[in-house]
C-alpha cells in the first residue's frame, strides 16, 4: 500500500530528525555527560525506532501480522496490570482463563470479524463467569476488589486493545482493502498527541492539571498537545475515508480519549505507589505506559467509524 509506505518514510524522517536533535543535545547541553532528562529523551527516541519497525513489520505481514502483534501486546499489558494489583490464590484460575482463553478468543473473533460476539465477550461473559470461578474457590477476602482487578485488566488490556486491529474488519464502502490505514491513523494521532503533550508540557507547562494524580500533566501540555495533534490528524485525512474536517473531529475525539486514558491509568499507578507499569521499553517504562492512551481511544474511534462509514 503506497500510503503506508509514504507514512513509514515520514515516520523515519521524523525519527531521524529527533535522533539528530537528541544527540546534539547530548553533546552540546549535557557535554556527553549523564543528564537525566536528555538521556531519557534519547532512550525514548531509540525505543521509538524499535516500535516503528515492529509496527511496519506487522503491517507488512498483513491482517495476521497486525492481529498477532496486538494479541501479544495484550498479553504483555495484562501481565503488567495484574502484576501490580491485588489478587489472591482464589483468583488464579480466573486469571489463567483471562490469559489463555479470553485473549485468544477475543482476537480470533476479531480475526473472523464476528462483531456481535467480540463486542460482548468480555463486558458480558467474562464479567459474569470469572467472578463465579473466583467465588467457587471459597475465599471472600476483599472479593469485590479482586474481581474488579480481573475485569478491569481484561477490559483495558484485551477488550480496549482489540479494537485497534478490529478496524481492519470494518467494511467501508469505497475503502475496501485499505482499512489498515485507519489503524495507522489512530496510532499515529494518539502517539503524536502523547509526544506533543510531553513537549508542550516540558516547554510551556505552568499550571498543573491534576497534580495529585499525575504531576507531569499541565493545562498548557494538554491544550497545546491536543490542538497540534488534531491539526496533524486533519493533515493526515488522505490516509482515511474522512474529509479533512471530519479527520480533525475524529482526531480531537481520539486525543481527548487518549489524554483521559493516560489520566485514569496514572490514578491507578499512583494508588499502587508506582511510576511506571514495567520496564520492557527503555525510557518509556512498561508496555502499558505506551498503550494507556490507545486503550481508551481505540473503542471510541472504532464505533465512530463503524457508525458513520459502514
Partner 1 sequence: MIALLRHLMVFSAWLLTGVRGQWVGATPEDRQRIYFGNHRSHGDFVLISSALPPTLRRKTRPVAGSDYWDKDALRRFIGRRVVDAVLIDRNPATRSADPIALMCEALDSGASLILFPEGTRNVGDDEPLLPFRSGLWRLARARPGVELVPCWIANVGRVLPKGELLPIPLLCTVYFGTPIEVTESDDKDAFLARARQALLDLRAKHDPGAGA
By CB under 8 A, name the binding residues for partner 1: 75, 79-80, 82-89, 92-93, 95-96, 99-100, 139, 141, 272-274, 278-280
Return the beta strands (E) in the chain as ranges. Answer: 208-210, 214-218
**Distance (Å, whole) CA 67 – CA 69:** 5
Q: How far is the CB of 10 from partner 1 (least distance, A)?
A: 33
Q: Are 107 and 132 in contact (CB under 8 A)?
A: no
Contact at 8 Å (CB) between 254 and 301?
Answer: yes
Torsion over CA: 185, 187, 193, 198 (sign): negative
Residue 208, helix vs strand vs coil: strand
Q: Using the structure block, give the residue that is written with the C-alpha cell 482515511.
A: 240
Separation CA 139–CA 149 (nearest Å): 16
Quick one: 26 or 146, whose CB is closer to partner 1?
Answer: 146
The whole-angstrom separation of Cα 134 and Cα 131 is 5
Amino acid at each position: 500500500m503506497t500510503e503506508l509506505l509514504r507514512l513509514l518514510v515520514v515516520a523515519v524522517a521524523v525519527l531521524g530528525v529527533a535522533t539528530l536533535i537528541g544527540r546534539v543535545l547530548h553533546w552540546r547541553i549535557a557535554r556527553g555527560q549523564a543528564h537525566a532528562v536528555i538521556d531519557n529523551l534519547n532512550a525514548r527516541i531509540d525505543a521509538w525506532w524499535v516500535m516503528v519497525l515492529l509496527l511496519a513489520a506487522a503491517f507488512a505481514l498483513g491482517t495476521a501480522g497486525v492481529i498477532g502483534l496486538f494479541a501479544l501486546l495484550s498479553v504483555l499489558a495484562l501481565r503488567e496490570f495484574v502484576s501490580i494489583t491485588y489478587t489472591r490464590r482464589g483468583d488464579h484460575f480466573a486469571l489463567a482463563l483471562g490469559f489463555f482463553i479470553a485473549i485468544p478468543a477475543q482476537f480470533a473473533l476479531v480475526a473472523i470479524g464476528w462483531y456481535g460476539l467480540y463486542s460482548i465477550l468480555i463486558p458480558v461473559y467474562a464479567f459474569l463467569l470469572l467472578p463465579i470461578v473466583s467465588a467457587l474457590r471459597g475465599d471472600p477476602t476483599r472479593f469485590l476488589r479482586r474481581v474488579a482487578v480481573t475485569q478491569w485488566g481484561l477490559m483495558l488490556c484485551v477488550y480496549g486493545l482489540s479494537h485497534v486491529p478490529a478496524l481492519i474488519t470494518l467494511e467501508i464502502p469505497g475503502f475496501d482493502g485499505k482499512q489498515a490505514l485507519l489503524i495507522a491513523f489512530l496510532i499515529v494521532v494518539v502517539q503524536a498527541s502523547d509526544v506533543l503533550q510531553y513537549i508542550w508540557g516540558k516547554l510551556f507547562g505552568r499550571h498543573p492539571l491534576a497534580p495529585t494524580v499525575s504531576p507531569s500533566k499541565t493545562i498548557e501540555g494538554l491544550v497545546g498537545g491536543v490542538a497540534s495533534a488534531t491539526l496533524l490528524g486533519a493533515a493526515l485525512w488522505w490516509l482515511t475515508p474522512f474529509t479533512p474536517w471530519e479527520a480533525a473531529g475524529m482526531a480531537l475525539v481520539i486525543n481527548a480519549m487518549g489524554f483521559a486514558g493516560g489520566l485514569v491509568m496514572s490514578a491507578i499507578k499512583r494508588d499502587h505507589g508506582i511510576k511506571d507499569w514495567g520496564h520492557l521499553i527503555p525510557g518509556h517504562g512498561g508496555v502499558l505506559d505506551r498503550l494507556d492512551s490507545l486503550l481508551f481511544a481505540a473503542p471510541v474511534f472504532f464505533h465512530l467509524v463503524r457508525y458513520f462509514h459502514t
